[in-house]
Amino acid sequence: MNASAWQMLLEGAWTTVWISAVSIAIGVLAGLVIALIRLARIPIVDQLLVLYISVARATPLVTLALFIFLSAPDLGLDFNRSVAGILALTLNTTAFNAEIWRSAFRNFSREQREAAMATGMTPWITFRRIMLPQMVITSLPGLINEMSFLIKGSPAIAVIGIVDLTRVTNRISAVTYEPLPPILVAGALYMMVIGCLIWLQRIFERRANRLAM
pLDDT at 187: 92
Question: From its phi and psi, is residue 42 left (phi > 0), alpha (psi between -120 and 50) or beta?
Answer: beta
pLDDT at 156: 92
pLDDT digits (tens, 9 = 90+) for 115-157: 887 888 888 888 888 888 888 888 889 999 999 999 999 999 9
For the entire predicted model, the pTM comes to 0.89
Sign of the Cα pseudo-torsion (37, 28, 90, 63, in order): negative
Q: How many domains does the chain have?
A: 1
> Residues 39, 102: contact at Cβ < 8 Å?
yes
Q: Report the Cα 69 to chain-centroid distance in Å.
A: 19
pLDDT at 16: 94
> Residues 16, 169: contact at Cβ < 8 Å?
no
Distance of alpha carbon 37 from alpha carbon 45, whole angstroms: 8
Residue of 150, 146, 145 lying closest to 86 (CA atoms)? 150
> Residues 172, 182: contact at Cβ < 8 Å?
yes
pLDDT at 95: 96
- Interacting residues of 67 by C-beta distance below 8 A, sequence separation 6+: none
Distance of alpha carbon 93 from alpha carbon 111, whole angstroms: 31
> Residues 10, 187: contact at Cβ < 8 Å?
no
pLDDT at 174: 86
Q: Which residues of the chain have pLDDT under 50?
A: none
pLDDT at 107: 83
pLDDT at 191: 94
The domain in which residue 94 lies consists of: 3-210
pLDDT at 123: 80
Distance of alpha carbon 5 from alpha carbon 168, whole angstroms: 9
- DSSP H helical segments within the chain, as ranges? 3-40, 45-58, 61-71, 81-106, 110-118, 123-125, 132-153, 165-176, 180-212
pLDDT at 130: 80
CATH number at residue 105: 1.10.3720.10
